[in-house]
Amino acid sequence: MSSDLLKQFSLEGRHFVVTGASSGIGRAMAGFLAGAGATSILVARRQNELDTAAEAIRATDGKAEVVAADLSQRENIVEIAAQCKAKTLNGTVDGVINAAGVNLRQPVEDITLDSWDLTLNLNLAIPFFFTREFVPEMQAQGFGRIINIASLQSTRAFPNGLAYGASKGGVCQLTRAMAETWSKHGICCNAIAPGFFPTELTVSVFGSDDTRNWAAGQTTIGRNGQLDDLSGITLFFASPASSYITGQTLHIDGGFTAK
């Protein structure tokens, strides 16, 4: 492979903010970015888990910084973004991965105004308002990458998933709207829609053989996802190689949505 082609996938010197980075998909994506040369700025509520995730990255000679904060508190978004910018060399964040999220799995009759607002706030509102804080610097340099996390429920309806599904359907449209607004400045905005991966949010699926096997049986590949399955698309969407792809949602689901 030529050196010019390899450079298209290099993230050397870049800084990426990853929300929800203390566990699951967010933590894995932060590790993939650091492995390609970026500095990953890990954002989540739990300090101990963040520190553990950052140390795991550093143990493999990757670069990681930590910002412990609760993104669900809207009034703190500007300050949290400022803390992230302070972790860079010049105050510029090159990309944002919006992996923080919540899925309460409530029956429709149990959904309250508060639980609805919690879900829509963290899954849909925060990815916009938080990301917007980094856009001026991305515009100034003519480069930026935004990766949102959609879901199977962006296009499929699951039991006990009304609020979550509404929020994740919105993520796909948010991604398109971000692309329409910011792509002319070199900021590519795309989304990844994972299938079933073993994370804290999918304990109810992976907690029993019946549900785990059911999920695997819905794919065309015949197995559930492993976090390493997200490495290639993470680096592609984050790198210069994806400079003509924006506003798209790509399902990483083993063919679940192909059936």
Indicate which residues carry an active-site annotation. Answer: 164
Please state the three-class secondary structure of the chain as a single string. Answer: CCHHHHHCCCCCCCEEEEECCCCHHHHHHHHHHHHCCCEEEEEECCHHHHHHHHHHHHCCCCEEEEEECCCCCHHHHHHHHHHHHCCCCCCCCCEEEECCCCCCCCCHHHCCHHHHHHHHHHHHHHHHHHHHCCHHHHHHHCCEEEEEECCHHHCCCCCCCHHHHHHHHHHHHHHHHHHHHHHHHCEEEEEEEECCCCCHHHHHHHCCHHHHHHHHHCCCCCCCCCHHHHHHHHHHHHCHHHCCCCCCEEEECCCHHHC
